[in-house]
Amino acid sequence: MKGPNYSATELLARLVNFDTTSHKSNMALVRFVEDYLAQRGVACQLVVNPEGSKANLFATVGPANVPGVALSGHTDVVPVEGQNWTSDPFVLAERDGRFYGRGTADMKGFLACALAAVPDFQRRKLKVPIHIAFSYDEEIGCIGVRPMIAEFGNNFVKPRIVIVGEPTSMTVVDAHKGPVRWQVDIEGRAAHSSMAHLGANAITAAGNLLGELRLIEKELMVAPRDDRFDPPHATLQVVRINGGTATNIVPVSCRVDFDLRALPGVDANIIDQRVRAFVARECLPEMQQVAPEARISISIANQVPPFAAGANSEAVALALNLAGQNETHAVSYATEAGLFQDAGSPSVVIGPGDIAQAHTADEWIAKEQIEKCSGFLGRLADWAEN
Ligand SMILES: [Zn+2]
């Protein structure tokens, strides 16, 4: 029944082989992990998406129905299209102490270390179980993990601690920003440009809104501030505009997308309400005087909560202890940690590889990072035994 034991490097090679770009299925990878664990007598539970094309995987080593430490990672990777790779991105290549391949840093390196550690976890007499929690669709807005988190406290035990193994070069990250993306669709009324008074100009309304968004942006630069972040404040900016049809037509429609990177403590709902109130007060009435059918719809296209572990986090204390460090870091990129933390599982981010390599052509992870992570997980097992 028992399959061969694989090193983290061998597992990394296998995982990189699966092209799990977010828009593709991750089921082949999930089946591989399921088989690997089943051969060791570890049962998996899957949370499959409605289409049946993707799944989260949850498994427990050690006592059942006891809240344990979850090793969390996403199985999906970003596309390689348009990137100039030296070798096949889906075949692990070793050069100069580095492993090259899509997802090596972000974040199949961590998945491989976690899976490679399972036989060691099984040899121990774990008092605190160790969970494997692998998600899908992280790269497109931390979408996939949400139905798995919804199972915590229901079909799955809610983890006592979540270690999110995103690439931090094995340093301890206890805070990150939360991205929120809005989509604003403005519909006015078209008219011949020479008859401007007969139309409701959607771009003019968008211009009003841009002014307000700039005000919010400036306010966010002042407060709240946290010098651990770079930049040390929340940012808000318009990231895309589409509007108008021709130079001789009053623009009937305009779409504005804007992006917030919220510091922990910045409430996106307050910004959402402010924008809605501004639009209702300053943009729509003017348009509706001419065109009663004018509409402005505002929606949040995606939202990932910011993450702050807080001062007395058991997760952070454990990670610092296992990593032999005494300093934590804050980062500007988002992870699933905010979602876990908000769902009631104290979380921390620490994983092998450098975020600077993530999403790049010739993405790589240093061999030494894999070794460091494996050492960290060995010490986690020591801790979980006692
Ligand atoms: Zn990632």
* Cα angle, residue 328 at apex, residues 265 and 157 outer, rounded to 5°: 70
- Peptide linkage before 107 cis (omega within 30 of 0): yes
Task: Compute the distance from residue 166 Cα to the ligand 1 centre, in Å.
Answer: 5
- Is the pLDDT at 52 greater than 80? The verdict is yes
- The whole-number pLDDT of residue 262 equals 96
Q: What is the torsional sign of CA 148, 67, 264, 330?
A: negative
Q: Average pLDDT, whole number, for the chain?
A: 96
What share of residues in the chain are helix, strand, coil (percent, to 5)? 35, 25, 40
Q: Measured in angstroms, how far is the CA atom of residue 297 from the centroid of ligand 1?
A: 32
> Looking at residues 8-30, what average pLDDT do you find?
98
For ligand 1, the distance from its centroid to the CA atom of residue 336, given in whole angstroms, is: 9
Q: What is the pLDDT of residue 59?
A: 98
Neighbouring residues of the ion ligand 1, judged by CB less than 5 Å: 106-107, 166
* CB burial readout 318-346, b (16+ within 10 A) else e: bbbebbeeeebbbbebbbbbbbbbebebb
What span, in angstroms and rounded, lies between the C-alpha atoms of 103 and 318?
A: 26
Q: Are 348 and 161 in contact (CB under 8 A)?
A: yes
- Centre of ligand 1 to C-alpha 354, Å, is 11
Instruction: Quick: pLDDT tens for 321-352.
Output: 999 999 999 998 999 999 999 999 999 999 99
| Centre of ligand 1 from the C-alpha of residue 333, in Å | 9
Instruction: Report CA(43)–ligand 1 centroid distance (Å).
Output: 25
Helix pair angle (27-38, 109-116), 10° resolution: 20
Is pLDDT of 102 > 80? yes
Q: From ligand 1's centre to the CA of 342, what distance in Å? A: 19
Q: What is the pLDDT of residues 219-234, one digit of tens each?
A: 999 989 999 999 999 9
263: three-class secondary structure by DSSP = coil
What was the pLDDT predicted at 5?
Answer: 82
The answer for residues whose C-beta is within 8 angstroms of residue 200's C-beta and 6 or more apart is 188, 189, 250, 286, 287, 288, 290, 291, 294
* pLDDT tens, position by position, 120-155: 999 999 999 999 999 999 999 999 999 999 999 999
Q: Enter the pTM of the model.
A: 0.92
Tell me the CA–centroid distance for residue 107 and ligand 1, in Å: 5
Average pLDDT over residues 38-60: 97
Look at residue 1 in the predicted model and tell me its pLDDT. Answer: 44
The model's pLDDT over 302-314, given as tens digits with 9 standing for 90+, comes to 999 999 999 999 9
Contact 107, 351 (CB under 8 A): yes
Q: What is the pLDDT of residues 292-303, one digit of tens each?
A: 999 999 999 999
| Residues in CB range of 193: below 8 A, 6 or more apart | 247, 248, 249, 250
Quote the pLDDT of residue 386.
87
Expressed in angstroms and rounded, the spacing between residue 188 Cα and the centre of ligand 1 is 40
Does pLDDT of 2 surpass 70? no
Cα separation, 333 vs 87, whole angstroms: 28
Cα of 178 to ligand 1 centre, how many Å?
14
**Which of 190, 166, 299 shows the shortest CA–CA distance to 243?**
190
Ligand 1 centre and the CA of 15: distance in Å? 15
Q: In what order do the strands lie in the sheet with 98-100?
A: 93-95, 98-100, 364-366
**pLDDT of residue 3 exceeding 70:** no
Q: Which helix or strand (DSSP H or E) is residue 258 part of?
A: strand 253-262
